[in-house]
Amino acid sequence: MVSDLLTRETREWNTDLVEKLMPELKEHVLKLRPSVLGKHDAYIWSLQQSGSYSVKSGYYSTFLSPNQSTERTRGDNNEGKWKKRRNLRKRGMLQNITCNHCGEPESVDHILFHCQYANEVWRYGPWNQSIDTTDATTFFEKLERSWNLTPLPPYGFTGNALPWICWAIWTSRNQRIFENRSQSPEETALKTIQALKAIQALKEWEIAQPPSLKIPKSLTTGQQHDPMVLDPSEIFCNTDASWSHTSKEVGLAWIFTNGSATEIFRGSIKQSVVSSPCMGEALAIREALLQAATNHYSIICIRTDSQVLAQAITSRRKTTELYGILSDIDELAFSSSSPFINCRFTYFSRANNGPADGLAKACLVA
């Protein structure tokens, strides 16, 4: 049984036993993070990142081979093959799958970020620093990071321009393929116009929105965004994680302060075999909750600079990759057996999360 591979004390993987019984699968097994609170397993639909079945994903699964249907379908691997390769090729509509700009194998990530043409477009991005298109982060991780970038004048928008610029790059690619609008090297300068057109579209969209739907400026300018303090005795905890893409290690950090912003406790720990930055952030939150329970803090506010993760926890969504960790967080924060009288989670911008970030980085290199 799988439970036999977990240690009794920590409920985490018994590394030596995994190595002994299944050395060829050790790396894959250790990347899975089980619940440390003994939460029950659940059925998931492996072809959807959320773990929930949808008719659309069920339809696409009929075009996969038996081996492929058992693989997780996420990011830029199988999902792209579902929608852009296998269906079109099966119907005889796909003859060439190379990039029409550079001739390299085409994928969504290549079109939007890795192609030289895309790189030139991103150089003209409207932020105080350019988007790093060379790293191995996913689209959603790039999107999350872009919320913390400060728009340069005179653009003046309050939303996020990244999706709009992606759309401009995508439509440029389609015009080249389907309308035969090829550009000479001199015309590549039009990439600036593409970016500016995307920004102008964003501004027009923002102006058209009702006031209640506009994005709070505090979420995009680096200012902290905490709801009203619920209780004067509430304890705040800033969490952060520093992840190494090469070693797959992560430094986790947590800093507790009281209502007057006086630090009362801090800690950090390094963990190995962590598959993504998002998993690192989730591990930091879980560890912070365990530390808060140990210190008998009854009213707690967890601050994280991962806006996507904060929303997932608050809405009680459990993705496939983070199911065990998010189940523990949900149990600690919201269940009837929660050790807290009240527990809430809020987004806290990276610009204001410097101490926790520094502590996590120091732990990672120690």
Comparing CA positions, the residue from 115, 125, 111 lying closest to residue 198 is 125
What is the pLDDT confidence band of residue 347, given thresholds at 50, 70 and 90?
very high
Q: What is the 3-state secondary structure (H, E, C) of 130-167?
A: CCCCCCCCCHHHHHHHHCCCCECCCCCCCCCCHHHHHH
279-310 pLDDT tens trace = 999 999 999 999 999 999 999 999 999 988 89
Higher pLDDT residue, 27 or 341?
341
Task: Tell me: pLDDT of 348 over 60.
Answer: yes
Q: Is 128 helix (H, G, I), strand (E, B) or coil?
A: coil
Dihedral (Cα; 301, 270, 307, 261), 10-degree rounding: 40
Domain ranges of the chain: 2-90, 108-219, 235-365
Distance between CA 34 and CA 49 in Å, rounded?
17
**Res 355: pLDDT:** 96
Is the pTM value of this prediction over 0.75?
no
CA distances from 98 to 105, 106, 139, 308 (A): 4, 5, 20, 33
Question: How far separated are the first and last CA of the chain, in Å rounded?
Answer: 36
> 28-64, pLDDT tens digit by residue?
778 778 788 877 777 777 666 666 777 777 766 665 5
Looking at domain 235-365, does it have CATH number 3.30.420.10? Answer: yes
Distance of CA 24 to the CA centre of its chain: 28
Q: CA separation (Å) from 28 to 15, 33, 244, 274?
A: 12, 11, 18, 11
Are 5 and 13 within 8 A, CB to CB? yes
Question: What rounded mean pLDDT belongs to the chain?
Answer: 77
Segment 153-178 mean pLDDT: 74
Query: Looking at the predicted structure, is the pLDDT value of residue 97 above 80?
Result: no
Q: Which of 266-270, 287-291, 315-319 shows the lowest mean pLDDT across its residues?
A: 315-319
219: pLDDT confidence band, cut at 50, 70 and 90?
Answer: very low
